[in-house]
A and B are shown apart, each in its own frame.
Chain A
Amino acid sequence: MLRAPIKTGLVFFPAFDWAISSTHPEREERLLYTQDQVFEEGILDVEGIIEYKPDLATYQDIRRVHFCAPEESRVVTESHLISAGGAKKIASEVMQKKIKRGFALVRPPGHHAMRVVHGCRGFCNINIEAVMIEFMREVYDIGRVAIVDTDCHHGDGTQDIYWHDPDTLFISIHQDGRTLYPGTGFQHELGGPTAYGATINIPLPPRTSEEGFLYALEHAILPILEDFKPDIVINSAGQDNHYTDPITSMNFSAQGYAQLTHLLKPDIAVLEGGYAIEGALPYTNLGIIMALAGLDFGQVREPDYRPEKIRQSKDTSRYIEKVIDQTMDYWENRLHLGEKARAGKQFAERERSIFYDTDNILETQRERLKVCADCPGALAIDSKTDSGYHVYAVHVPRKACSHCKELGYEWYDAADVQEFDRVFLQDRSQNQYIAKQG
């Protein structure tokens, strides 16, 4: 009988009755063949692999992370609560040491969902990793967290949520934003002035194969993790870097994903994208589960896997080496660069447009951060959609100093309900969430 050397938990929730629309990549069929493969391989019978039923996440869980406009019930379906609840369940079991590692194999995904949510973008409504992490911080009091996003698309939602958090290292490795949705995730995106260097982006060129990904892992991601010393490592385990994925252009494989998981040793993996539902997902998921559990994944491969056919070119290898050199240069100089970014500033502001491709909403945001020497700083977001819905959201970080706490409440109190459709205050230092409207 097969025994897993590393006790591993699994929440498998394929949501067989939920789809964005009937022919959308995010449809009922997506994890059908993955389930077939996992069941047929007898993975759930392996001693040391435990399957759990997902919890249901609550609105309270979501309010630690998001500002849902106008409110949660309008942007979140039950399926999202189960998906986030699946991640939460795995986190609870890991925190209670019932399992060593866990994998939330759930849908719908979450890594394109930003702090303010007006609707669905990149198939995501709420950020299931962030909901899970803030739950762990609230209930289990963990501090430093590293998220390694290995989805082919830049994890712009997770980046946005942790942009100003120096205790959350966010590393995204993805297909270059010049060639793929969402078009961000460039190397110079390194975090806000009070959390500079806690965001790391590693854009890889199209047709990067196993050696490119593993090079980036060994020469950048692992050394950075070693420096950062997180309490817990989360893997946003998107699987659309696969050579058969219909909406991306990379050449990664099931062996590659398994190897990456084996080397990264995440405490928790959460499924993100991956839409080669027949040719990739059954094999990549099998490989990831086996690698997490410490099982020999040497014989896991796709029926059409020919490593020599997907090997990256020499030029690609050289290009990737340069990208990694640049990443390490930024990482090693992050303190100095951070000081420069903060120099003399009382407040830092940024303005951007955010497009919700799935729901066809264009949002314009103006963000104002208190550049504080003692804490990550109070943050205010003025957000307006193209349909004219206007909200004002104030975030007080977990470790806010008393001054920033006061400032957050001042901003909230001062916001005019005549001017905004809704005004929010999320005070993470006291786990408060309040809202007002005219």
Chain B
Amino acid sequence: MIIGLDVGGTHTDVVLIGQDCILRQVKVPTDPQNLLDCVWTGLAEVTRDVPPQDIRRAVLSTTLTTNAIAENKLVPTGMIVCSGPGVDPRCYKTNDYFYNVSGSIDHRGREVQSIDQMEIEAIASRLRSEGIRQVGVVGKFSVRNPQHEIQIRAMLGDDFDHVVLGHRLSGNLNFPRRIATTYLNAAVYPLHKKFFDAVKESLEKKGLHIPIYILKADGGTMSLEASLESPGQTILSGPAASVMGSLPFAAEDEETLVLDIGGTTTDMAILLRQVPLLDPLGIELGGFKTLIRALKTQSVPVGGDSVVRLLGERITIGPDRQGPAMAYGGPAPTPTDALFVLGKTSNGDVGAARRGLQELADKLGVGVEEMAARIFDEACFNILNEAAKMISTINSKPVYTVHELLEGYQVRPKEILVLGGPAPHFAFRLSRLTDFEVHVVPQWQVANAVGAALAKNTCEVTVFSDTERGIVLAPEENYSESVKRDYSKEAALELAFELLRKKCLAEGASQDEMEMEILEEMQFNMVRGFHTTGRNIRVKVQVKPGLIPEYKDIAQTLFNYCPLPS
């Protein structure tokens, strides 16, 4: 048996999954002030009377770090940044205690200016005296040569609880994003650690020795222990949970648009033959642009509880939510009220819904049913328009070779999968309004928790080699070696796969979860004068997001609900 738990904004969903179906599903209201209780209550309820040794693993997706960033409840963190010439690093200041120090590395990874030990020691003593316990260290081009970050780390000594080095978080070039990513990882660390220590402790107290995994924003999992190394990866795992839950129902040979229709927003994602599309750069949250790997998702401010208004003759939906639908005692008409008026839903106050819509209908001089139909269609069109925009943005992503430009792969989904509260009603209408094949994800109420339960590990490794300088390095893996001039792309790929395998195992993946693939492989001859003097090799490999192998083939039937006797 496995457990999936997803803490959402309003509810925490938990499922217990057996050999061939969902054995238990639990919904607990989320108390943002006490997430630990939500997690604990959820886990306690689904595991009641179940022998702990029968539970192979539990995967948790929480809003802990996301909320901390959104609400700016981050611990004070020291940031030591060495930029050298270029854009003024003060433009990328993340917080107080942000220090730009001497030291500079160029684009090839050569040292231009060295670190000043006195300067670092002065900053360290200042941070100490201010009581700062977390530090982030980031250098421009540190993924080409991490020496400065490593030197600064050594100079800081053991005086701090946690020091995060930028080059260990991503192999991608982007100094400002590396700064933000390092800052967030350092600043959420104590919160993340405290929370999961508490989760572990309470499980053990109850004798539940269950391996805990954490869901990442890219739809993959990592062990609780591994998550302490990069807690930033847990930011925005919520949307990923739903997308992973829809995976079993996507066409195997088609592209799919996933719509998770919630109360305030609709989250959109794209699947390419059952593999979710990743964001090329990383998460953006709370004004931070990061290098944190994530599924490409986009939020549209249209949901079941969005406020409906008239702008002249035009119906507008959202972007705000003022409370639940009027049918549930809310203050303003919503698309959910339209569903009541249309007779699609009945477990609330239909009269209140009608009254809300009647007012709008009178202004337009139409019947209340007609009004409801128009509101509902408007919501559908809003979502479809935003989806079209997202797809067009994906397709206009720049490429850098003649081959890619001419052969340019274009995303053209033919299918929509809908989940979330009003999923069946939206699915029905969307299929009438468009040429898409539209399906509802079965058990859509808990698809997010199922997605978390079934997600397998994901990893990425970047290898860079400059054979004129005689080096090969994998910055995130803390790996560097000397190489000869004739070091090749093939050798770099072999190394990358080997490092990827190690990384997966370290993150708690099982051997059979490792479906590896090449993301990028480039090799340039370096010519100086009229002679070839070396090779510049860039390689990136990954384990792509997907479902754990033993459940992959039966994933569809797993969505059957066959409740355990309670």
Cβ of B409 within 8 Å of any chain A Cβ, yes or no, is no
Closest to A42 in B: B176
- Chain A neighbourhood of B403, CB < 8 A: 17
- Chain B neighbourhood of A290, CB < 8 A: 87
Given known contacts A299-B88, A301-B85, is B401 in contact with A23 (CB within 8 Å)?
no
B513-550 interface mask toward A, CB cutoff 8 Å, 1 = contact, 0 = none? Answer: 00000000010111101111000100000000000000
Binds A, one of B101-109, B256-264, B347-355, B475-483: B101-109
Cβ of A22 within 8 Å of any chain B Cβ, yes or no, is yes
Given known contacts A1-B287, A41-B86, is B107 in contact with A12 (CB within 8 Å)?
no
A36-54 interface mask toward B, CB cutoff 8 Å, 1 = contact, 0 = none? Answer: 1101111101000001111
- Chain A neighbourhood of B311, CB < 8 A: none
Given known contacts A39-B173, A45-B174, A303-B104, is B400 in contact with A29 (CB within 8 Å)?
no
Q: How far is the CA of A393 from the CA of B84 in the complex (A)?
A: 55
Given known contacts A29-B536, A40-B173, is B530 in contact with A14 (CB within 8 Å)?
no
CB-contact partner of B397 in A1, A17, A53, A54, under 8 A: A53
- Chain A neighbourhood of B402, CB < 8 A: 15, 17-18, 78-79, 82
CB-contact partner of A17 in B84, B172, B287, B401, under 8 A: B401
Closest to A45 in B: B289
Q: Judging by beta carbons under 8 Å apart, are A2 and B92 in contact?
A: yes
- Chain B neighbourhood of A296, CB < 8 A: 88
Determine how close the nearest CB of chain B comes to the CB of A82; give it in whole angstroms. 6
Cβ of B122 within 8 Å of any chain A Cβ, yes or no, is no
Cβ of B491 within 8 Å of any chain A Cβ, yes or no, is no
Cβ of B140 within 8 Å of any chain A Cβ, yes or no, is yes
B373-399 interface mask toward A, CB cutoff 8 Å, 1 = contact, 0 = none? Answer: 000000000000000000000001111
* Interfacial residues of chain B within 80-129, with CB under 8 A of chain A in the complex: 84-88, 91-92, 104, 106-108, 112
Q: How far is the CA of A302 from the CA of B107 in the complex (A)?
A: 11
Cβ of B216 within 8 Å of any chain A Cβ, yes or no, is no
Given known contacts A299-B86, A299-B87, is B177 in contact with A42 (CB within 8 Å)?
yes
Q: How far is the CA of A336 from the CA of B301 in the complex (A)?
A: 67
- Chain B neighbourhood of A1, CB < 8 A: 91, 287, 289
- Chain B neighbourhood of A283, CB < 8 A: 85
A9-32 interface mask toward B, CB cutoff 8 Å, 1 = contact, 0 = none? Answer: 001111111100011000111001
Q: Judging by beta carbons under 8 Å apart, are A295 and B405 in contact?
A: no
Q: Judging by beta carbons under 8 Å apart, are A82 and B405 in contact?
A: yes
- Chain A neighbourhood of B399, CB < 8 A: 53
Given known contacts A37-B107, A39-B173, A82-B402, is B522 in contact with A16 (CB within 8 Å)?
yes
Cβ of B426 within 8 Å of any chain A Cβ, yes or no, is no
Q: Judging by beta carbons under 8 Å apart, are B406 and A45 in contact?
A: no
B171-183 interface mask toward A, CB cutoff 8 Å, 1 = contact, 0 = none? Answer: 0111111000000
Q: Judging by beta carbons under 8 Å apart, are B108 and A33 in contact?
A: yes
Q: Judging by beta carbons under 8 Å apart, are B405 and A54 in contact?
A: yes
Q: Judging by beta carbons under 8 Å apart, are B87 and A28 in contact?
A: no
Cβ of B141 within 8 Å of any chain A Cβ, yes or no, is yes
Q: How far is the CA of A302 from the CA of B91 in the complex (A)?
A: 20
Q: How far is the CA of A43 from the CA of B88 in the complex (A)?
A: 12
Q: How far is the CA of A142 from the CA of B132 in the complex (A)?
A: 60
Cβ of A187 within 8 Å of any chain B Cβ, yes or no, is no
Determine how close the nearest CB of chain A comes to the CB of B8; give it in whole angstroms. 28
Number of interface residues of A (CB under 8 A): 48
Q: Judging by beta carbons under 8 Å apart, are B85 and A29 in contact?
A: no
Q: Judging by beta carbons under 8 Å apart, are B107 and A29 in contact?
A: no
A298-320 interface mask toward B, CB cutoff 8 Å, 1 = contact, 0 = none? Answer: 11111100000000000000000
Of B87, B172, B526, B531, most A-chain CB atoms within 10 Å: B87
Cβ of A286 within 8 Å of any chain B Cβ, yes or no, is yes
CB-contact partner of B106 in A28, A45, A303, under 8 A: A303
Closest to B176 in A: A42
- Chain B neighbourhood of A16, CB < 8 A: 400-401, 522, 524
- Chain B neighbourhood of A2, CB < 8 A: 87, 91-92, 176
Q: Judging by beta carbons under 8 Å apart, are B532 and A23 in contact?
A: yes
Q: How far is the CA of A25 from the CA of B174 in the complex (A)?
A: 27
A74-91 interface mask toward B, CB cutoff 8 Å, 1 = contact, 0 = none? Answer: 000011001000000000
Of A33, A41, A301, A302, most B-chain CB atoms within 10 Å: A41
Q: Judging by beta carbons under 8 Å apart, are B398 and A40 in contact?
A: no
Q: Judging by beta carbons under 8 Å apart, are B174 and A13 in contact?
A: no
- Chain A neighbourhood of B397, CB < 8 A: 53
Of A11, A17, A282, A286, most B-chain CB atoms within 10 Å: A17
Closest to B408 in A: A53
Q: Judging by beta carbons under 8 Å apart, are A53 and B398 in contact?
A: yes
Q: How far is the CA of A302 from the CA of B281 in the complex (A)?
A: 27
Q: How far is the CA of A79 from the CA of B524 in the complex (A)?
A: 18
Q: How far is the CA of A192 from the CA of B24 in the complex (A)?
A: 87
B479-520 interface mask toward A, CB cutoff 8 Å, 1 = contact, 0 = none? Answer: 000000000000000000000000000000000000000000
Determine how close the nearest CB of chain B comes to the CB of A346; give it in whole angstroms. 48
Q: How far is the CA of A335 from the CA of B277 in the complex (A)?
A: 63
Q: Judging by beta carbons under 8 Å apart, are A29 and B525 in contact?
A: yes
Cβ of A385 within 8 Å of any chain B Cβ, yes or no, is no
- Chain A neighbourhood of B406, CB < 8 A: 78
Determine how close the nearest CB of chain B comes to the CB of A125; give it in whole angstroms. 14
Determine how close the nearest CB of chain B comes to the CB of A2; give it in whole angstroms. 4
- Chain A neighbourhood of B522, CB < 8 A: 16
Q: Judging by beta carbons under 8 Å apart, are B524 and A29 in contact?
A: yes
Q: Judging by beta carbons under 8 Å apart, are B175 and A40 in contact?
A: yes
Q: Judging by beta carbons under 8 Å apart, are B524 and A28 in contact?
A: yes
- Chain B neighbourhood of A53, CB < 8 A: 396-399, 405
CB-contact partner of B141 in A32, A40, A43, A45, under 8 A: A40
- Chain A neighbourhood of B87, CB < 8 A: 2, 41-43, 290, 295, 299-300
Given A36-B141, A282-B107, 4 more pairs with CB closer than 8 A: A12-B398, A16-B524, A51-B398, A78-B406
30 contacts between A and B (CB under 8 A): A2-B91, A2-B176, A11-B398, A12-B400, A15-B401, A16-B400, A16-B524, A17-B401, A18-B401, A23-B527, A27-B527, A29-B524, A29-B525, A29-B527, A33-B108, A36-B107, A36-B141, A42-B87, A42-B174, A53-B399, A53-B405, A79-B402, A82-B402, A278-B107, A298-B88, A299-B85, A300-B85, A302-B85, A303-B104, A303-B112
Shortest beta-carbon contacts, A-B, top 3: A42-B176, A303-B112, A39-B173
